[in-house]
Structure 1
Amino acid sequence: MRQHEVMDCYGTELELFSIWMKNKGMTKSTHQAYLSDVGYFLQSVYPTEMKLIAKMDIMRYMALCRENGAGDEARNRKLSSLRSFFKALIEMEHLSANPAALIAKSKQEKNRIPVYLEENELEELFHAIKGKYYIRNAAIVLLMAYAGLRVGEVHRMNVQDFRQDGSIHILGKGRKWRVIPLPEALQSFLNEALEDRKDSRQGKEQPFFVSQFGRRLSIRMIQTVADDTIKQLKDVLPSLADKQLSSHKLRHSFATMQIRSGTDIRTLQELLGHASIETTQIYTHIDNKQLRRAMDNISTKIPARK
């Protein structure tokens, strides 16, 4: 099936959805991801008329996604995209019902222990940063590993978000701001990155991280900076060769370090910008001292071998 045929059939609905997302203030990355998810779904139901799309069509699509290897998290994201799509069409007075509204999300595995780097490995990661744009790239990696920023948050960061009091004001998921007071060492790196920064060519916008062409550094490039640094780390520490590491795992490493340093779960939730404390609780399973002490209490009660 050709893409233009789907666009001809559902172009009006996709345009309405795009307008709705812009009015909601959704980030560019979310906007693109939702349109992509909805586009794949519409390919599966083409050429069904929009008002005739039913709950069964969506359930059939979700089953197809599972057959093609999509996990629970991926399918739940696709379902969220479709719910938003039909909700948008209702609010734009183009449809009267949301066929995705009553479809239950897949149950995801809870309390999975996230992949992370140990503190000594983070130190090696820092030493693995090399290249022409060392100061800029070091600031990016440090913000993810020692301030817990998401890739998209690093991408959206502007010069004015780094305040004179040494804190950064971060626009996170759900268009919510949070304030992170930075340690002096990290402040120093950001100040150095500002001095080393190329002038922006984006008019009034003053992105903190700028490409060699004077444009806001893309999400893809920020991921590449992190991934290349991680690759260098694996060359230095072959024991990490089989570990599934990525830019987002640096955020996991930050959360792990905070828990091990005694940070309470509510404060960590604020630092990470999680909407629900349940999301933050996965990190308590990494180094739960109470559980360890509880098991130590019975260590002397285990019978010795005769």
Structure 2
Amino acid sequence: MRDGNPRQVKAEVEVRAPLAIRDDGDHHGNVALAEQRPSSRSDERVTRKLEPPKAVDDLGDEPWERALIKAIRERGFLWRTEQTYREWAVRFARFIAPRSPYAASGGEVAAFLSALAVNGRASPSAQKQALNALVFLMEHALSRELGEMKFERAYPKRRLPTVLTAGECNSLFAQLDGTMQLMAQLAYGSGLRLMELLRLRVHHLDLERGQVQVFAGKGDKDRRTVLPQSIVPRTKVHLERLRRLWDEDRSNGLAGVWLPEGLEKKFSKAGETWEWQWVFPSAKPSKDPESGVVRRHHVSDAWFQRVLKDASRRAGLNKRVTPHVLRHSFATHLLENGADIRTVQELLGHTSVETTQIYTHVMQKPGLGVRSPLDRA
């Protein structure tokens, strides 16, 4: 054990976290967890990839799974929370098989959490998510008291972010066109996280002020960031095309776009209004697995990540380019150009300036413009 003492928690304290998991209205992808390839067959019980989200009418095959879903829905938890808890419960059931979760003990839950940290190399947030899910499963769905548990704690791994140069950014954008180029330039030029980009609604863009409003970002925080003036004309053209698509959807009687639950209850028709449309909608409508309603969703995260991967390959870049690399590049380039670190912190939506300070380690001129002694020779 890394610190000589296993992690001790009281299970009942952790059950508050379900409310912190937000539903983003995107039902296309899996809940992703960064995992290493299993080192042995026994480790596969821990590191096995999660199953795709289940349809709303699929209540599970096992009694414990049906009890879990019943408990979740009785409390009105969000769709993403239900899927996340269900997936962790399934992984735990595989881990203790052939024993049923009904017969599981707190020691087995602790063993699973320790295995995530040691064998699965899980991040602290993933381990915390698993803990919340299993506490809810055992204590609230199956009425089994866990008490205190001791398990190996996952530790964060400090890695320097990958950053593109300005030239590499331009080479990447040159391999894209149309909506794909606009998305990539907005991700870089505004410093948006992937899901912040995909969840943009029409009213989030303030073209006159040159601002992007991010609502319910990471940590459920709102913020404003910059909208690059260089892409405003193309953004206007994009919105004009989008408005024609919106007109077609209304003429065809298509259901409105997904809305946060509270808003949909209060303004049931808001999803049909122009200002609530996705800025980057999918090409075709699809069935919402939660409600069964056929509507137009935003483009999928997997699609945009493939777009960037293919573009970076065509550009001949020797770096792994992801949407978050564009965000890293946004922050680093601002600091290199003299922006105040507190301003960059606010634009990124970081709670602590310490998080933003990591970009000072990858600036082209760290510190006070220090030069290598070899360059002075």
TM-score normalised over the length of structure 2: 0.62
Matches within 5 A, 1:227-266: 227-237=306-316, 240-241=317-318, 243-266=319-342
**Greater fraction of residues in helix:** 1
Distance 1:10 1:93 in 2: 9
1:217 aligned to which of 298, 304, 307: 298
Classify 1:293/1:78 alpha carbon distance in 2 versus 1 (closer, same or farther; 3 Å): closer
Indicate the residue corresponding to 1:10 in structure 2: 65
Aligned: 1:170 with 2:218: no
Structure 1 residue 183 displacement after superposition: 2.7
Distance 1:127 1:99 in 2: 57
Aligned length in residues: 281
SS in 2 for 1:115: coil
Per-residue displacement from partner, 1:6-47 (whole Å, max 9, x unpaired)?
643232224434665x64x6x84x664454234312332354
SS in 2 for 1:168: strand
Structure 1 residue 261 displacement after superposition: 1.6
Structure 1 residue 109 displacement after superposition: 2.7
Indicate the residue corresponding to 1:62 in structure 2: 114
Aligned: 1:42 with 2:93: yes
Distance 1:100 1:50 in 2: 18
Cα pair 1:86 1:100 within 8 Å, conserved: no
2:105 aligned to which of 27, 38, 53: 53
Classify 1:276/1:15 alpha carbon distance in 2 versus 1 (closer, same or farther; 3 Å): farther
Cα pair 1:169 1:179 within 8 Å, conserved: yes
Distance 2:147 2:61 in 1: 20
Cα pair 2:89 2:133 within 8 Å, conserved: yes
- Aligned AA (2:171): E
Classify 1:141/1:108 alpha carbon distance in 2 versus 1 (closer, same or farther; 3 Å): same
SS in 1 for 2:191: coil
TM-score normalised over the length of structure 1: 0.75
Matches within 5 A, 1:85-96: 85-86=133-134, 88=136, 95=143
Per-residue displacement from partner, 1:84-114 (whole Å, max 9, x unpaired)?
225656996975856687646322232x211
SS in 2 for 1:185: helix
Matches within 5 A, 1:271-290: 271-287=347-363, 289=365
Per-residue displacement from partner, 1:124-158 (whole Å, max 9, x unpaired)?
1111114xxx1x22221112111111221122111
Cα pair 2:201 2:279 within 8 Å, conserved: yes
Distance 1:86 1:229 in 2: 36
Indicate the residue corresponding to 1:195 in structure 2: 240
Indicate the residue corresponding to 2:343 in structure 1: 267
Cα pair 1:83 1:98 within 8 Å, conserved: no
Per-residue displacement from partner, 1:173-193 (whole Å, max 9, x unpaired)?
122211113231133332222
Per-residue displacement from partner, 1:188-239 (whole Å, max 9, x unpaired)?
332222112222544232211112225122333xx423432442332232xx
Distance 2:149 2:200 in 1: 34
SS in 2 for 1:179: strand
Q: Which runs of 5+ in 1 are unaligned?
A: none
Q: After the TM superposition, which of the residue ranges 85-94 and 196-205 deviates more from structure 2? A: 85-94
Indicate the residue corresponding to 1:142 in structure 2: 185
Distance 2:65 2:305 in 1: 38
- Aligned AA (1:84): N
Structure 1 residue 57 displacement after superposition: 2.8
Q: After the TM superposition, which of the residue ranges 42-51 and 86-95 deviates more from structure 2? A: 86-95
Indicate the residue corresponding to 2:37 in structure 1: none
- Aligned AA (2:128): S
SS in 1 for 2:167: helix
Structure 1 residue 249 displacement after superposition: 1.6
Structure 1 residue 289 displacement after superposition: 4.3
